[in-house]
Amino acid sequence: MELLQYLALRTGCTYLSDLKYLPNSKKRFSFLVNVPLEDYPETEWINAVVYLYQQPVETAAAAKQMLIRSSVGELERQDLQCI
């Protein structure tokens, strides 16, 4: 299972594209704290951040930190729910 698929599954999104539109209150990526970087290739971590936030990152570690920070509302997103 790819990282984006895992995020969609854990957040209850039917489609990967729904991840982009989760309200801040539903971005529960804090569970990634328990996911080792080695569980996914570096490109998947980086691509997840680029896909979700349209922001470049250089390393898997930086990408993981950004995804975890999003769970506490530090990144602004549209306030739409998964359908």
- The pTM of this model reads 0.79
How much is the pLDDT for 26? 60
pLDDT given at position 25: 57
Q: Which residue's structure tokens are 């930190």? A: 65
pLDDT by position in tens, the chain (length 83): 999 999 999 999 999 999 988 876 565 688 999 999 999 999 999 999 999 988 899 999 999 999 998 754 544 444 334 44
* Helices and strands (H and E) in the chain: how many: 3, 0
Q: What are the sequence ranges of the domains in the chain?
A: 3-70
User: 39-48 burial by CB neighbour count: b if 16+ within 10 A, else e?
Assistant: ebeeebbbbb
Q: What is the pLDDT of residue 53?
A: 87
